[in-house]
Amino acid sequence: MKLSDFDYNLPEELIAQYPADRRDESRLLVLDRKSGKIEHTVFKNIINYLSPSDLLVLNDTLVFPARLIGRKKKTGGKVEVFLLREISQNRWEIIPHSAFRNPNSVDVVFGDGELECRIFEREAIFECNGDIYKMLEKYGKVPLPPYIKREANPSLDYERYQTVYAENRGAVAAPTAGLHFTKELLSNIEKKGVETAKVTLHVGYGTFKPVKAENIKEHKIEPEYYEIKESEAIKINNAVKSGKRIVAVGTTTVRTLESFTGEINAQNGYTSLFIYNGFNFRVTKSLLTNFHLPKSTL
């Protein structure tokens, strides 16, 4: 398969720069793969396409404000730091930056000096009084996808670029398919008898990585951390054994479920699974996903 096979015309004016006033008022396209029938509706009506025999699987990762803008302690020059993951207490892996190669580490100050760090090529070591995550909430910004061209709105973005069921902190980008659920809609889905299960996959910076290989099989996915708890693994395995339809919310959920070659176990690890045409799905029966950009994995 060629990268060009995944190209199509996407007018920029059709890409929403702000979310709908209500999450579940977003538009929804439904494709019945057996009949080829396509329906256009609104997201809150997804409940009509779910049945009590379904298992709805969600990715409960929580986005943290991974983008920091500070100033060099010596010169006052502007510095942008993009955090990837916490290695140990106050020590973080960052997007590599040639300007910070050792021994040319750089001391950076954020805000009024309440948060400082020493930056190396691939790491940042922070100094702060108190919880580093509270400092990130104060000084950091949520890194928006490249198709969002507007200026960041910290209060709006931190609330709306987050699913209502997010609870496990560690993602630098949201599993966007789940952004359209409200707590009320999920409650109504549960009242209908639809069971839900949760997995965790921390969406990494690699999700923004452009696909450059013309043969898409040569594209490499950056490893991303995933975790499944025992209670959720039991739900998923029982659903598979009983023939329930498993509806995955987002490709991150699919990649987590399909990373197992046998029975799903309670475990954590990293996955680089890249799914493209011809993949044999073992667990997932239906997928809820946002539209993907041309020639990309986004």
What mean pLDDT, rounded, does the chain reach?
A: 92
Homologous superfamily, domain 67-141:
QueA-like (2.40.10.240)
Q: Residue 263 has what pLDDT?
A: 93
pLDDT level of residue 246 (50, 70, 90 thresholds): very high
Residue among 180, 297, 178, 145 at smallest CA distance from 248: 178
Give the pLDDT confidence score for residue 100 in this predicted structure.
67
pLDDT number for residue 206: 83
CB 150 within 8 A of CB 165: no
250: left (phi over 0), alpha (psi -120 to 50) or beta: left
Examine the pLDDT at 130 and tell me if it is beyond 90: no
Give the residue extent of every domain in the chain: 3-63+159-288, 67-141
Residues 6+ apart with CB under 8 A from 23: 43, 160, 164, 179, 180, 181, 182
Q: Which residue has the higher pLDDT, 261 or 175?
A: 175
% of the chain exceeding 90 in pLDDT: 75
pTM, to two decimals = 0.92
Length of the chain: 298
Q: How far apart are CA 187 and CA 192, in angstroms?
A: 9
Q: Which CATH architecture has domain 3-63+159-288?
A: 3-Layer(aba) Sandwich (3.40)
User: Where residue 98 falls among pLDDT bands split at 50, 70, 90?
Assistant: low
Q: Is 96 in contact with 122 (CB distance < 8 Å)? A: yes
* Residue range 230-259: mean pLDDT, rounded: 97
| Residue 205, pLDDT score | 86
SS (H, E, C) 20-74: CCCHHHCEEEEECCCCCCEEEEEHHHHHHHCCCCEEEEEECEEECCCEEEEEECC
